[in-house]
Every structure is written in structure tokens, then in C-alpha cells.
Structure 1
Amino acid sequence: MHLTSTFGRATMDMHAVREVSLAINAAHLFIYFIPEAPQEAAKLGVTEYGPAYFAFRSAPMGAVPWQVTLAAFYSFSARSVRAMEGVWDTATPGQWQAARFAAVDRAVRRVSVSLTADRIAEARSPIDPVVASADYAGKTMAAANASVPLPPDPLVALWQQITVLREWRGDAHVTVLAANDLGPCDCNVLQTATGHFPEAIARATRLWNDEEVAAATARLAARGWLNADGTTTETGIAARERIEVETDEHCAALWTPIGDTNVRRLTSLITPIHDAFTAAGTYPFHVETADTQPADPQTAR
């Protein structure tokens, strides 16, 4: 079935929108699993994963209080994000951003990402106009990343443009979650229940406690989305996909400036980034891409 949307300025093939979102997330994702990231964080004096994660990802917003990061990231508990207190005293946001780029640069060379200079330039040709013309109203993380000066290395610069668009969809996803009255803990519980986010990783990184998870499960059960034992219902599976479709509809406006053909070409051009990190054994779980459906590119934000 050929699904289209006129949410943007022109009709977009929603399959192409979903596929490029998946490819973008997959190409961005390695930063959270590579050994180079904690190594660069350690050079700045931070050896714990949580504070380093929040510093790396928050750096484009500047030296914001942890409460601002909590608001922008949405699905994390306050006890999780509060761990970043003091990271700006250890190093400036600019130093954290430079360290993130250094980690990316080292990692893409270690796994030998097979993108030639011509392919990188070809990928930049559609992605740069999308970043330049995007509407950043209400898109906090995307706007912050779009303000970061691009690094000199072409492949790392491409990754940063990918990051802008990854965060753009994430910001749109937060809007949809809130509109559907799906709170921060609730969206985590639904994601793990539907099998789109490993529960062990969700619990270890988001730090929602048993009482909070139980309360979220009860709320979702009252809506008919989960059974009392936390397993999903057909209604819950359908609701989750509806939320993904609504997010895709927001993203249709993002991609209309370049059209379906260029969107599909971009998808194929950036796929080798994910392929190289997968081949290197980077991920402790299966990462869904444009070749595996359905999937949530933001995994509960």
C-alpha cells in the first residue's frame, strides 16, 4: 500500500519518511556504544557513563541546568539526569562537543566506514538543504545541534548533520507523546512491553524505580494498552504504531524540500555507517533499520 501525507508542503511517501528516519537513527546510534566515547569523557575527568552521556548530548544546548536536560530528553527520570550536576564545572560544553566529535572521528576510522569522499559529498547534497530549511519551532535538541559549527572532517560533519535530523524527529516524537498523554515513564514501559527497547537498558539508563514502573503499567492497563501483567494488548500495539505514524506525519514536512527520490537515495547513502558498526560488534542488541519493520527511530526518546 502506497501511503502518503500532505502534512508538509507537498505529498510525501510515508514509507520513504519512515525508512529515512530509521536509517538516520541507525547511522547516529553508535555514539552511545563505542569505547571511544567514555575514553574521551575520561580525558575531561568524567568516568561514569551517565554524566558523560548527558554532557555529550546536552552540550549543544550550552551549560544548562540538569532540569533543562530532563525536559528536553523527556523519557529519563529526574534521578537519572541529576547525575550530570557538575559536568560543566569539569569541562565546558564546547570541550564536551569537541570530545564527542573526537570520539566519532576515532570510531568511524576504527571500523572503516566505507564512504568515499564522493559518497559523503553526495549525501551532504540533500541533507544540508533539509537542515538549513527545517522549521525548528519547538525542536529544542534539533535547533541546538543545528547551531553547532560543523567539524572539518567530512564524515564527522555528515554525522553531525545526521544528528540534527535524528534529534528533530525526537523532538517531534515528544510532541506526539505529550499530545497522546503518554508520560515519560509510560512511554518507556510501552516501548519495553512491545519489544522495541530492551528492558534492561531502559531500567539501567532511565532509572525509573519499581513503584514508578508499576504505576505506569497500571495507567497503560487502564487505557487498555497493556494487560495487568504488563504484556501488550492489540489495542496497545495499535496505539504505539499510531504514535509512530503521527510522528512520521510531522516529519513529512521536514523532507518535502528534497522529495521522495532524494530521500530514498539519502537512505541508501548513509546505511554503510550502521553496517560498519554492526559488523564490528558494536551493539548489544538488534538495531532496527530501514530493512526491518516496524520500528521506532527514537526508542522512547
Structure 2
Amino acid sequence: MHPLTGFWRSIEALHSVVYFAPDAQSRYESLGLKGYWMGYAASRAGALGTPAAAVVVATFHGFAPRLVERAVPDAWRMADPQAVLAERLAIARDVLGPALAEHDVERLAARLTQVVGRADLAGKPLAAAESSLAVPDDAVGALWRHASVLRELRGDAHVSVLVTAGLGGAASNALQVALGRAPERQRSVRGWTEDEWAEALEDLRRRGWVDADGAPTDTGRAARERLEDATDRAVDAALDTEATAHAVSVESDLVAAARAVVAAGAITYPNPIGAQAP
């Protein structure tokens, strides 16, 4: 296991509360967007400006292109992108504030500032876009912004690893389901058709990663670990020695904060993201 596994799992949990907030859909709809998915797509891709669907497809990777095309570019004319980003931040504050009331959020935010400030974002488009947004003045908002930059940094690196391995979006999701790291509803959540899902499973069978029934093989489990290891190496390369030292120094406190967020019910596992609990 990577020495900063707890750090990265905690970063994922802190960032991802905006996707599971029960009122997220209604709050984005109040701005003019339609449905949960359009709110998700617009709020996450909005840091890029008003990108075309092809750009969002490329950066999101695991989502079926048709799902993205249902939201973009319509979202940019239906709601003010800046208002969408502001609402996303407000959702993060509303969820994290109460959950982290007993934690030194200001210190956590300050430590993550040191990590983000020394991160190399080359080849990390979503992380770079997120880092271009203003850091909020409040500690909770700043903590979430820094966690979001780092979460997208790892996500961008993971996409590169999956693409290098020749693993398409549907197959990547199907493998997560097989391993029990994503729910059975993953196919519909990510917008893949039954035929596309069947093709993805066939790809995994040809690789020897799942058996005839779609259950993961030892080879498949080992392959998934290699993909994770490759992502770890890519992320390690993006952080210099000083940034890594700051990450190590804050890891235990960050894990405690993330576990408080999980205990508050702000995020549950397994979930469509496929990440593991901190």
C-alpha cells in the first residue's frame, strides 16, 4: 500500500461531498439547470470555462459521451457558469462546515496550501482549471478548494493511466463493479448502454480480468492494483519533496477529518466514484 493512501482517500472524500449532498440537484435547478446530471457536469467542468462536449468527454473519461452531450453545451446557456461554481462551493461549505466543527480546519487548509502550491499540474487539465479559481477567504471553503485541486490531480493522472492501458470508460467502470468498488447501477449512472457494457465485459474477459460470469479473477485484481500503483507513481512525480513532506505531516489529521465527514453521512461506500473509504 502506498504510504500516502490515507491522504489520497481523504482528499477524495472531502472533495466528493458536493456530489452526494441531498439538495444538490434542487440547488443547481434553481439556477436554471435541469436534473442532477446537468448540475454535476456543469459544476465540475465549469472550472474549464464553457468547454465543448468533446473536451468534457475527454477529461471525464468514465462517462458515456452521450451523457455528457445531454448536458454540455446547453448548460452554459441555461445558467451562469460562475453562479454554478459559486453554488458548488456553497454546497461544500454547508456539508463540511458542520461535519468538521470539531476539527482545526484552518490548519488543515494551510497545510494543503503548501501541497497544492508545489504541485506540478502539467498534463492535469481539471486540476489546473480548479487551481485557477480563487481560493475562498474562509477556512472551510479553502480546505475544499485545495482538496478539489488535489483530487482532480489524481483523477487526471488516473485517466492517463487507464488510457495508456487501453482501458475504455465502460470497461473501467465494469471492472470497478466486478471488484465491488462501485454499485451495480454503475452502468446506468455513467450512461452506458447494455450493449456497450457487454462489450466492456468481453474486453475484460479477453484480458483474463473477469471470468465467464463477470466475476474478477486473480489476474484482474492484480491488474487493478497495477493501475493504482501507476497512478500513485504519476502523482508522486507531480509532488516535489517539500510538497510530499507537507502531505505526510497532515495525513493523520486529514484522515480524522475525512472520517468525521463519512460518519456524518455526507458520503457512503461503495459509490459510483469507486474510491475506497479513508
Look up the equivalent residue of 2:220 and give its one-letter code.
Answer: G
When the two chains are superposed, the root-mean-square deviation of aligned CA atoms in Å is 2.1
TM-score of the superposed pair, with normalisation by structure 1: 0.84
Q: Which residue of 1 aligns with 2:237?
A: 253
CA distance in 2, matches of 1:179, 1:67: 19
Match of 1:168 among 146, 149, 153: 153
Match of 1:90 among 70, 78, 81: 78
Q: Deviation string for 1:82-127 (max 9, x for gaps)?
A: 1213111122221111111111122223x342355xx333223332
Deviates more, 1:185-194 or 1:28-37: 28-37
Q: Which structure 1 residue ranges, 4+ long, deviate > 4 Å from structure 2?
A: 295-298
CA distance in 2, matches of 1:161, 1:264: 16
Q: Which residue of 1 aligns with 2:127?
A: 142
CA distance in 2, matches of 1:257, 1:194: 34
Q: Which residue of 2 aligns with 1:268?
A: 252
- Post-superposition offset of 1:264: 3.1
Q: Which residue of 2 aligns with 1:155?
A: 140
Is 1:115–1:272's contact at 8 Å kept on the other side of the alignment?
A: no
Q: SS at the partner of 2:219? A: helix
- Post-superposition offset of 1:22: 1.1
Aligned pair in 2 of structure 1 residues 96, 114: CA closer, same or farther (>3 Å)? same
Aligned pair in 2 of structure 1 residues 260, 150: CA closer, same or farther (>3 Å)? closer
Q: Which residue of 2 aligns with 1:221?
A: 205
Q: SS at the partner of 2:101? A: coil
- Alignment coverage as a number of residue pairs: 274
Q: SS at the partner of 2:182? A: coil
Look up the equivalent residue of 1:108 and give its one-letter code.
Answer: L
- Post-superposition offset of 1:184: 1.0
Q: SS at the partner of 1:79? A: helix
Structure 1: runs of 5+ lacking an equivalent: 1-13, 288-294
Aligned pair in 2 of structure 1 residues 141, 122: CA closer, same or farther (>3 Å)? same
Q: Deviation string for 1:148-194 (max 9, x for gaps)?
A: 01122211111110000000000000111111111111111111111
Is 2:174–2:187's contact at 8 Å kept on the other side of the alignment?
A: no
Deviates more, 1:85-94 or 1:272-281: 272-281
- Post-superposition offset of 1:281: 2.6
Q: SS at the partner of 2:208? A: coil
Look up the equivalent residue of 1:156 and give its one-letter code.
Answer: G
- Post-superposition offset of 1:132: 1.9
Is 1:192 the counterpart of 2:174? The answer is: no
Q: Which residue of 2 aligns with 1:4?
A: none
Is 2:115–2:244's contact at 8 Å kept on the other side of the alignment?
A: no
Q: Deviation string for 1:45-90 (max 9, x for gaps)?
A: 2240010100110110001112211110001001211121311112
Is 1:204 the counterpart of 2:192? The answer is: no
Q: SS at the partner of 1:258? A: helix
CA distance in 1, matches of 2:55, 2:66: 14
CA distance in 2, matches of 1:251, 1:199: 29
Q: Which residue of 1 aligns with 2:30?
A: 43
Is 1:244–1:296's contact at 8 Å kept on the other side of the alignment?
A: no
Is 1:71 the counterpart of 2:55? The answer is: no
- Post-superposition offset of 1:266: 1.8
- Post-superposition offset of 1:259: 6.1
Aligned pair in 2 of structure 1 residues 175, 206: CA closer, same or farther (>3 Å)? same
Q: Which residue of 1 aligns with 2:219?
A: 235
Is 2:119–2:240's contact at 8 Å kept on the other side of the alignment?
A: no
CA distance in 1, matches of 2:121, 2:243: 19
TM-score of the superposed pair, with normalisation by structure 2: 0.91
Aligned pair in 2 of structure 1 residues 164, 259: CA closer, same or farther (>3 Å)? closer
- Post-superposition offset of 1:35: 2.2
CA distance in 1, matches of 2:32, 2:6: 39
Structure 2: runs of 5+ lacking an equivalent: none
